[in-house]
Structure 1
Amino acid sequence: MHIEDIKKVLPHRYPFLLVDRVLEKGDDKIVAIKNVTVNEEFFNGHFPGQPIMPGVLQVEALAQAGAILLMTEKVEDPENSLMVFTGIKNAKFRRQVVPGDQLKLEVTLGSMRRNFVVMTGVATVDGEVACELEASAAIVPKQ
């Protein structure tokens, strides 16, 4: 999936759309990328002179990849639905993500009951783990 296809699935827009392309997608797993560029707004304050992508945005990028997977593979009415976080467990940050890095986002769905889902995510840069987590989310109607 290219960016225009992603924008049809996710409600996020600049500066908060954090998935640039989907490389692979199956029933229960997605692999996507986020190209980290120096001109992103958050680098102005995090940190001047030593830009580092905030961990919370790495978590959000994984969530957005998971939302793409859910909306395209599991949700019956994706145009009228929204995925929202209900929990994050065991989030760990293993390396800094800096401008010029390409963040590879891999999300695997676990159990899904009605409108609740559990997923695991790993974000890597050049094969090194940058962020990993377990998350839960709910599929809710758009209002």
Structure 2
Amino acid sequence: MKLSTIGTDDARFDMTPMMDIVFQLIAFFMIVATYVTREKVEVDLPLAVNAAIAENQQDRALISISIDGQVWAGSRSVSLDELATTVSTWIADNGETKIVIRADRSNSYGLVKQVMKICRDAGIADIIFSSFQTEGGG
């Protein structure tokens, strides 16, 4: 008995849907990678002997001060006047706001003090400073 081979020459695997998915995955990872790198501001944190890990860090707004003295509210570069407006907006949107200040160890204390004053004037009393824990005297 002879088997019929009609139509087997035209059978092909359609790659179009697979190519669509691959391109969507590539686009997704490119967008996510760009977003993640934008949020990180390079800061060389100071060392502290008695540094401790703060509880409930997720609900805190982030203010960073880079080595060149640039102030960042979250991932956005701001002046000190704009920082006051941004902090007030955070309070208006979220009510009681808690702050994490990440300041480069090379910055003068005067700039950090100005940022603290802006937060205090806006009504924020709960501020945490980021640092690295060290074994000896830092």
TM-score band by shorter chain is under 0.3
As a proportion of its length, which structure holds more helix?
2
As a proportion of its length, which structure holds more strand?
1
**Larger RCO: 1 or 2 (CA < 8 Å, sep 6+):** 2
Scaled by the length of structure 2, the TM-score of the pair is 0.27
Scaled by the length of structure 1, the TM-score of the pair is 0.27
